[in-house]
Structure 1
Amino acid sequence: MTYYNRGKVRTLGDTQILGLGEIIRYNNRPKIKHENVAEHTFYVITTVLKICQMYNIDDYIKLKALEFAAVHDIPEIFLGDVPYDTKVDNPDLTEILERAEVVSLKKNMPEYAESYEKFLKEEKEETIAYLIVKLA
């Protein structure tokens, strides 16, 4: 039995989320090291925290930004990673992917769907919480 299938981890967590560690993150730009989606999410979360501390961001926005950082790539468990440049160059594809992401989360991981939908809404509004995550 693996560690994440024992005790409180099994009780508290949905082990599906661990699938993020198996998804290779694609990017068309040079990077320091290749990473999987779980590593990327961790780096984004810790960078959000650092940005919020550096700029004395109030707790409400900090918590919202941390929530968004934690959920921003969860749909990739079901749809894989599509490079950012591909999404920018194909806005119709981005719209289709967003709808598929929301449907997948509502069906498979409803506990994250509301946070993800808030993230998408604030992305379109370019709120401070979203921009912190984008910067991270």
Structure 2
Amino acid sequence: MDIRNNPSKLTDLENCTIVDGFVRILFLNDNEQMEPQDLSKYSFPKLRVISGYLFLYRVYGLVSLRTLFPNLVMIGGSELFYKKYSLVIFENPQLREIGLESLKYIKNGAARIQNNGQLCYLDTIDWARLGKVKCIFL
């Protein structure tokens, strides 16, 4: 699933329980004058597994993944971003928390969480509990 520029495309995830591959969400909006998207109305409680990777880049208006993916249990990493990462959260200016409370396992690959200016408490996540995940925080 490659969702770009338009949050209404998120509805493609509506009835998914398993995504066989990656979920890549990119809202390339360099115009700071525009209002951030209201993403609070999107929730995908049926989604439990992403077999590839989860990639979030410049998702303006995203405050937490808690509502978006409340029941995501596993990221498989069968396909990796840049042959290395199964979870990438990069340059999301309003992101305050990751909030993936149901995430129990990252089967393969590293996590890269970078340039999310309002994101706090990353050091409180027990990454070892999620599997053999190497985390890079910049």
* TM more than 0.5: no
Query: Who wins on radius of gyration, i.e. which is larger?
Result: 1
* TM-score using structure 2 length: 0.25
Could you say which structure has the higher helix fraction?
Answer: 1
Task: With a CA cutoff of 8 Å and minimum separation of 6, indicate the structure with the bigger relative contact order.
Answer: 1
Could you say which structure has the higher strand fraction?
Answer: 2
* TM-score using structure 1 length: 0.25
